Chains A and B, each alone.
Chain A
């Protein structure tokens, strides 16, 4: 079951940053999703939505070239998956570092910059090398960008989940990737921080021309910044703009059972009746707790 709705592109694009052509994923003989079509241009923000276990994380792994498709094709920055190296930034799902890990946040971010290169695990002193000074400046800049300066020099195991998440976003951003793949980056954040990090990613996406694919359980914190939505369901998928996809009609067709999308008075979307329990859009918080900045839905 596939529904593809052409998305109107906001920015003029040359070659798409990410292209999925009828992509189908099968693991252990089970079809997770099929017929996913997506054209993601520069500076566009896409959300990947769907219930637990539907294969959202697996979609990102397929884009990274870590998990092969059953059929269809993925092109990323004009090449097959797995060949784009530092041009793609990645934040895996729900990670927290061991509380006893004695490595600073700065070092974790620094590994994002040069951790894939051979050599000793620490740099020559900055004062002897211009390249090293530039690297240091870039690390400080990106840490500042995500607002993690205050705790970047603490051992990362001692940072809170949300602080670690910000540092990991900095790590994903440090090489100035053209495509950023984020797997539930808002997961361990409280509501004000969800809004703040969503705004941050939305801003970077626009200002630095970075394309973002973000897996999310709750679309509301990012709704204002979204250009595209990929909605995965058992066996199928729907892609398009949020207004096109997150509707009672589309989701009912996708799931084959009646699904209702409600719009609260402050513009938040609530999806009721998706087959897999729990209905994730409703379980996190109620309408009265809406964070600021998400009060207007896209459209």
Chain B
């Protein structure tokens, strides 16, 4: 089902006239839905990812993403939509991570003295990750004739997104963004300065648990465009790029959303007019943006020196 429209994909031709190209692209209903879903996912992933980067929780994000794969393949095996599988597994895994002492936990400034303890936690998480990945592979193998779908689940696909899936994605995104907007400031405080935040009465444990749930939902959404292995393309790369570009919270959060939208739209367009997968394009564009941002910040002092000299 995921690859139902694969033939249509190759049929589209690139004309170098943006207007006719976009017209052509959007004449396919599945493409319109891909853009709708991509837009929702990009905004959500960038906003949640901004906190992930700030809180150095990329390992937790990666864990949640990998857990999504057996969820999605298991759902397909059972005949349910892969999206449901992503949500169920990612959010459940987030709850488990929150319950594990310190796993996915935050470090305050200066780090915690329990470094070796955290190392043990991450070794445990890594072990479970590998096992779940293997389970996902088993589910795919059990579902005969679905092997092409492995690519879609691991590396992303934009095909066959239905109206109801878009609605579900949007509804979840609205809830997650609303909660994030409500807890944003104390979450930022707890993220950069946990000890002081706690002394000031901020419920840091509660916030970190709540954030893991939001992260679970955002990871489940991002997986549906980029696949389980490439979620960082939307979850981490735009936010990391934005934080390189500006140390102002408002500016970098806005930049993260803009970058995520840009790479998603460009990636979908590129994938529509070529035979290569969307996950590759989105990731490549996001990576390109990061490299450019890094180069720009490296070049800035050199340029300034050149101007003053």
Q: Which residues of A does B touch, CB under 8 Å?
A: 64, 66, 82, 85-86, 88, 90-92, 94-98, 101-104, 107-108, 111-112, 114-122, 153-155, 168, 171-172
Would you call the interface of chain A mostly helix, strand, loop, or mixed?
A: loop
- Smallest distance from the beta carbon of B205 to chain A beta carbons, Å? 12
- Smallest distance from the beta carbon of B203 to chain A beta carbons, Å? 10
Q: Are B200 and A116 in contact (CB under 8 A)?
A: yes
Q: Are A86 and B200 in contact (CB under 8 A)?
A: yes
**15 examples of A-B residue contacts, CB within 8 angstroms:** A64-B199, A90-B196, A91-B196, A94-B110, A95-B109, A101-B54, A103-B54, A103-B249, A107-B247, A111-B197, A116-B189, A118-B182, A121-B185, A121-B253, A122-B250
Q: Select which of A98, A102, A116, A120 is within 8 A of B201 by beta carbon.
A: A116
Would you call the interface of chain B mostly helix, strand, loop, or mixed?
A: helix
Q: Are B109 and A121 in contact (CB under 8 A)?
A: no
- Smallest distance from the beta carbon of A127 to chain B beta carbons, Å? 14
Chain B residues with Cβ below 8 Å from A108 are 192-193
Bound-complex Cα distance A116 to B189 (A): 7
Chain B residues with Cβ below 8 Å from A111 are 185, 188-189, 192-193, 197
Q: Are B249 and A118 in contact (CB under 8 A)?
A: no
Bound-complex Cα distance A117 to B197 (A): 11
Chain A residues with Cβ below 8 Å from B186 are 115-118
B174 contacts the other chain (CB 8 A): no
Bound-complex Cα distance A115 to B204 (A): 12
Chain A residues with Cβ below 8 Å from B246 are 102
Q: Which residues of B does A touch, CB under 8 Å?
A: 54, 56, 107-110, 181-189, 192-193, 195-202, 243-244, 246-250, 252-253
Given A120-B185, A122-B250, 10 additional A-B pairs, CB 8 A: A95-B109, A95-B110, A103-B249, A116-B189, A116-B197, A117-B186, A118-B185, A118-B186, A122-B248, A168-B196
Chain A residues with Cβ below 8 Å from B192 are 97, 101, 103, 108, 111
Chain B residues with Cβ below 8 Å from A114 are 185
Q: Are B249 and A122 in contact (CB under 8 A)?
A: yes
Q: Are B247 and A103 in contact (CB under 8 A)?
A: yes
Interface centre among B181, B196, B244, B246 (most CB of A within 10 A): B196
Q: Are B185 and A119 in contact (CB under 8 A)?
A: yes
Chain B residues with Cβ below 8 Å from A171 are 193, 196
Considering only CB atoms, which chain A residue lies closest to B202 in the complex?
A: A116
- Smallest distance from the beta carbon of A285 to chain B beta carbons, Å? 24
Q: Are A121 and B199 in contact (CB under 8 A)?
A: no
Q: Are B202 and A121 in contact (CB under 8 A)?
A: no
Q: Are B249 and A112 in contact (CB under 8 A)?
A: no
Q: Are A104 and B247 in contact (CB under 8 A)?
A: yes
Q: Are A115 and B185 in contact (CB under 8 A)?
A: yes
A121 with B184, Cβ < 8 A, contacts A94-B110, A102-B244, A111-B193 known: yes
Chain B residues with Cβ below 8 Å from A66 are 198-199
Bound-complex Cα distance A121 to B185 (A): 4
Bound-complex Cα distance A62 to B189 (A): 22
